[in-house]
Structure 1
Amino acid sequence: MSADGGAHVHRTWRHLELRFDAGATQTRLSRWFPHRLHSAYTRLMLAALWLRPGPRRIGIIGLGGGAQAGFCHRHLQGARIEVAEVDPAVIALREVFRVPPDDARLRVECVDGAHWLRRQRGRFDLLLLDAYDAHGIPAALSTRAFYDDCRDALAPGGVMAGNLFDTDTRAHLSRLRRSFDGRVLTLRVRNAGNRVVVAWQGTPRPGPVEAALADLPWRARGQLRAGFRQLAAAWARWAEG
């Protein structure tokens, strides 16, 4: 199954995959457990909830197969989720990947993420960046100005998490550290080539991991426990200087 623009669905007996013409897999969904976050990097990105629990407004750049949007809609009932996705072909496949329809808590907008973000000053408690096309991270989402806009889009105490894969990680980290005055952590995704970056506004005061997990629905806790612990360990090293 495909839609105009190169995005298409690749089916196996275990998974549904969102792919582009170049063959890159952007999202993998388990046929048997469709509501679970299949990819380890998505679970690690959402470990940012340890630093900013109970977000009221979540911004997402890059819908992909909608794994994170669906997770937030399902498990963070108090949050409003706003998604920017530039490719209408990707949005056209949202039902295949069981992304909920737009409602009072979820809105998916077909718009350039960089332009969209400039209108979101001080808006988000949690901002998730996972925007890829067939060639990797778009150039407009890789600049110092874009990361400045990410910082400015966060509400006080807000947290951003991003996925870095098949890119110049050092260049991205350098820009992020300048934009966020060094308030940046990097997390290695086990058994994968991804790096997850976490950056924040202000001075978060996270509590114990298990206490933070206890505030989430039980179906979410097991998915996020390892990521919370990994982020907490990285935070402790950063805090010690």
Structure 2
Amino acid sequence: MSYGSLDAYVKFLAEAPNDGTPTLLETAHELSLHFDVHGVQSLMSRRDPNKLVLGYTRTMMGFLLLQPAPARISMIGLGGGSLAKYCYHHLPNTKVAAIEIDPAVIALRDTFHIPRDDDRFEVICADGAEYVKGQDARPDVILVDGFLAHGMAAQLGTADFYAACYARLADDGVLVANFLESDRDIPFYLEELHSVFGESFSVSTSEDSCNYTLFAWKGSWKLPALDTLLTRARTLEMEHALNLRLAARRLKQSKRLALDLEFWEERASLRGGGERRIDQS
């Protein structure tokens, strides 16, 4: 970290409101979005604003292994727009709708180089949990990355939300969600998801980060064989600077783990500290 970056960070620690208000940390090389001084919501490279800097965002793009040419993507949570920008610029035949509940986050779109609305890109100020209940469009992919200062918005991990996503998705659609590794409610989310998607889901560790990435697919079809996924990954990597071969291996390897609720309960108990945000009594 350069002296200039260190000075900026010290200033940020001293002045950040720490009350959930969207706050920027600006250095010579990067721009990040925060809701408190503890976590990074989005991180943008000034040199390459459309690059996916955080590992979990690259892992979430693993949906391309299942939906390589989506006609429509809906995103719950805008943040600094990393995924929205990447999809807009690298999937030119895809319509992208980003749903963000906080107008103060949307107000930062120019700062993060988020494109203006046009015929295939739209930012919508709405509650994502309510938005997916509509039926005006049937996306091939729904990306869920909706976080507040305390963590993932609780309504984005319930059976009602997953059922709404299932109903809204296209017939072969894919749901992708970002979970924090420290979230003790992951077992609850997976039980709720299982009640809707059955066994059609996988959960893998995210690339270079302390996150888990959920992939769930609509219908009873099974994941393609690993060789098939690796072939798709090699083809996609010609156009995308993503480690999709790693994503393919993790997607297959983690299928069994996703259904092991005892593993997730054990992980939750090991984390300890603090009460769960969701009443599971």
Same fold (TM over 0.5): yes
Q: Counterpart of 1:187?
A: 204
Match of 2:230 in 1: 209
Q: What code does the residue aligned with 1:231 have?
A: L
Instruction: Sort the Cα spacing of 1:65 and 1:213 in 2 relative to 1 into closer, same or farther, 3 A.
Output: farther
Partners of 1:130 and 1:117 lie apart in 2 by 14
Question: Does residue 77 of structure 2 align to residue 77 of structure 1?
Answer: no
| Aligned residues of 1:29 and 1:38 also touching (Cα < 8 A) | yes
Matching residue within 22, 25, 32 for 1:7:
22
The match for 1:134 is: 149
Letter in 1 for 2:235: A
Larger Rg: 1 or 2?
2
Deviations 1:50-103 (A, max 9, x none): 011100010100001101111110111111111110000110101111111111
Count matched residues.
237
Aligned pair partner of 1:231 in 246, 251, 273: 251
- Higher RCO (CA-CA < 8 Å; seq separation 6+): 1
How far off is 1:231 after superposition?
2.2
Q: Identical aligned pairs, as a percentage?
A: 35
Determine which of 125, 135, 144 is the counterpart of 2:140.
125
CA distance in 1 between counterparts of 2:136 and 2:194 reads 19
Q: Which amino acid aligns with 1:201?
A: K
Structure 1 letter corresponding to 2:72: R
Give the superposition deviation at 1:139: 2.0
- Against the structure 1 CA distance between its residues 94 and 225, is the aligned structure 2 distance closer, same or farther, given a 3 Å change threshold? farther
Higher strand share: 1
| Structure 1 unaligned spans of 5+ | none
2:53 is equivalent to residue 38 of structure 1: yes
Unaligned runs of 5+ in 2: 1-11, 259-281
Counterpart residue identity of residue 76, structure 1:
L
1:197 is aligned to 214
Counterpart for residue 115 of structure 1? 130
Q: List, as ranges, runs of 4+ consecutive aligned residues in structure 1 with deviation greater than 6 Å.
A: none
User: Is 2:60–2:213's contact at 8 Å kept on the other side of the alignment?
Assistant: yes
TM-score in terms of structure 1 length: 0.88
> Which letter does structure 1 place at the counterpart of 2:109?
R
Query: 1:39-118 residue pairs with structure 2 within 5 A?
Result: 39-118=54-133
